[in-house]
């Protein structure tokens, strides 16, 4: 096939680099500026940086913070019925279970502890995902127990949930007609010194981020970064510094369990939970519970911990143990310490058999004994 003839022969293009540069100078922004031209162009370019940052911040707020803030505004604390009392004599008591740092709902934990029903009807506390107001939770417990005509309450708190349980118990003991029979503390840090250094540092870092980053209490992007960094030991290392396959595995885990799940604690709730530990109010709450109030006896305190303190990587249970003895132990105290062999840090879902055995054989008899002694002292006027 013959190629068509063109009227103009092809000619080599002339290339002049100086002419190209001259043309660029004539068309660039601010080319007509003769005085301070370079400085003015640098200032103009620099002024674009905050505009770009503002645009990115607007996208961050619209797509990340605002939807989560709207969702959290619709949350509120609740108590969920789990199990009826196992015995007729326990029908006058309600047990409320509370979970710890990073968790929102105690339903699954309470379901793993059927032995609690030996003490009374079992309820799970679901926190308000925007934060924690223990007075609101205490008022909710009063409302529920009044409706059920149940005069007695037992509170069970796992890890940081024990700190919240003690504060709720104080509200009920001092400011309500409900009688708090006992507070069960599962590996609970009585103050910030009881939290091991690594966990304490992570919590304090979260508080700093929540304090100065706009939208940090709601941001899922920030949560993704913090939760991924908390698992950095799993993917850092190797020839290039990062193990890509393990990083992808960690990201999928964090997205599934911490970001996309609707049943996970928000950044704001975690900050509020850790702030409750930082405030160190547990010691004062224990002091308030160590004496009778309004004709009601002082509650029993039960501390569940691993026999080997090294099995708990989060809380120094030896420290909490000593502090509890100082506050509510001794000859005339109402403290029971239950040591377990194979449990770790507040993990009844992972070790239900040992937890239920300890509750059945040690916790329930102790609380009933304290209850009988209190009733006897009331009758005799002691």
Residue of 188, 204, 262, 198 whose CA lies nearest to 231? 198
Residues 315 and 362 in one domain: yes
Output helix, strand, coil percentages for the chain, rounded to the nearest 5: 55, 15, 35
Q: Residue 23 pLDDT > 70, yes or no?
A: no
Identify the pLDDT of residue 215: 61
Residues 176 and 112 in one domain: yes
Residues 206 and 319 in one domain: no
Q: Highest-confidence range of 26-35, 41-50, 120-129, by mean pLDDT?
A: 120-129
Residues 349 and 362 in one domain: yes
Per the model's pLDDT, the better-predicted residue between 248 and 234 turns out to be 248
Boundary-marking domain end, from 259, 275, 291: 275
pTM (two decimals):
0.76
Q: Residue 137 pLDDT > 90, yes or no?
A: yes
Identify the pLDDT of residue 269: 74
Domain contains 29: no
Domain contains 54: no
Domain contains 375: yes
Determine what percent of the chain is predicted with pLDDT higher than 70: 75
Residues 96 and 189 in one domain: yes
- Cα torsion angle, 51, 56, 60, 63, sign: positive
Domain contains 230: yes
Chain segment 276-334, per-residue pLDDT in tens: 776 767 888 999 998 889 889 999 999 999 999 999 999 999 999 999 999 998 777 88
Per the model's pLDDT, the better-predicted residue between 125 and 251 turns out to be 125
Residues 338 and 250 in one domain: no
Q: For residue 256, name the pLDDT band (cuts at 50, 70, 90).
A: confident
Residues 224 and 104 in one domain: no
Locate the DSSP E strands across the chain. Answer: 78-83, 93-98, 121-126, 152-158, 179-186, 300-306, 335-340
Domain contains 9: no
Chain segment 152-184, per-residue pLDDT in tens: 999 999 999 999 999 999 999 999 999 999 999
Question: The domain containing residue 107 runs over which residues?
Answer: 79-194+277-380
Domain contains 43: no
Q: Are 344 and 312 in contact (CB under 8 A)?
A: yes
Calculate the average pLDDT of the chain. 82
Residues 234 and 114 in one domain: no
Domain count, the chain: 2
Domain contains 13: no
User: How many angstroms separate the CA atoms of 314 and 98, rounded?
Assistant: 18
Chain segment 309-321, per-residue pLDDT in tens: 999 999 999 999 9
Identify the pLDDT of residue 107: 95
Chain segment 333-359, per-residue pLDDT in tens: 889 999 999 999 999 999 999 999 999
- CATH number of the structural domain spanning residue 344: 3.40.50.1820
User: How many angstroms separate the CA atoms of 128 and 135, rounded?
Assistant: 12
Residues 294 and 310 in one domain: yes
Residues 318 and 178 in one domain: yes
Boundary-marking domain end, from 225, 257, 275: 275
Identify the pLDDT of residue 106: 94
Determine what percent of the chain is predicted with pLDDT higher than 90: 45
Domain contains 290: yes
- Ramachandran area for residue 184 (φ above 0: left; ψ -120 to 50: alpha; else beta): beta
Residues 190 and 224 in one domain: no
In the three-class reduction of DSSP (H, G, I as helix; E, B as strand; rest coil), residue 298 is classed as coil
Q: Residue 24 pLDDT > 70, yes or no?
A: no
Residues 134 and 268 in one domain: no
Boundary-marking domain end, from 275, 307, 324: 275
Chain segment 44-99, per-residue pLDDT in tens: 667 778 878 777 777 766 776 666 666 655 668 899 999 999 999 999 999 999 99
């Amino acid at each position: 096939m013959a190629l068509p003839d063109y009227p103009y022969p092809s000619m080599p293009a002339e290339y002049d680099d100086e002419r190209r540069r001259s043309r660029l100078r004539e068309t660039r922004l601010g080319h007509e500026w003769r005085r301070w031209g370079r400085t003015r162009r640098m200032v103009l370019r620099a002024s674009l940086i905050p505009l770009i940052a503002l645009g990115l911040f607007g996208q961050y707020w619209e797509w990340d913070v605002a939807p989560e803030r709207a969702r959290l505004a619709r949350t509120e604390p609740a108590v969920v019925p789990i199990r009826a009392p196992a015995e007729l004599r326990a029908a006058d008591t309600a047990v409320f279970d509370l979970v710890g740092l990073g968790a929102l709902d105690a339903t699954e934990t309470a379901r793993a502890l059927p032995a609690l029903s030996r003490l009374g009807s079992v309820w799970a506390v679901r926190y308000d995902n925007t934060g924690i107001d223990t007075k609101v939770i205490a008022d909710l417990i009063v409302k529920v127990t009044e409706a059920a005509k149940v005069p007695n309450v037992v509170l069970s708190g796992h890890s940081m949930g024990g700190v919240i349980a003690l504060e709720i118990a104080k509200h009920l003991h001092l400011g309500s007609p409900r009688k708090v029979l006992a507070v069960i503390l599962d590996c609970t840090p009585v103050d910030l010194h009881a939290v091991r250094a690594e966990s304490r540092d992570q919590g304090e870092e979260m508080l700093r981020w929540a304090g100065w980053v706009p939208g940090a209490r709601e941001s899922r992007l920030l949560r993704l970064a913090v939760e991924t960094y908390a698992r950095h030991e799993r993917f850092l290392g190797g020839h290039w510094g990062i193990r890509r396959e393990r990083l992808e595995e960690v990201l999928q885990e964090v997205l599934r369990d911490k970001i996309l799940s609707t049943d996970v604690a928000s950044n704001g709730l975690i900050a509020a939970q850790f702030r409750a530990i930082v405030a160190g109010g547990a010691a004062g709450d224990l002091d308030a519970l160590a004496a009778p109030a309004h004709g009601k006896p002082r509650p029993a305190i039960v501390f569940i911990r691993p026999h080997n303190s090294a099995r708990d990587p989060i809380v120094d249970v030896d420290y909490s143990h000593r502090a509890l003895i100082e506050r509510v132990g001794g000859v005339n105290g109402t403290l029971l310490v239950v040591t377990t062999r194979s449990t770790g840090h507040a993990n009844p879902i992972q070790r239900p058999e040992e937890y239920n055995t300890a509750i059945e054989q040690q916790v329930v008899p102790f609380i009933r004994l304290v209850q009988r002694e209190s009733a006897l002292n009331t009758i005799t006027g002691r």
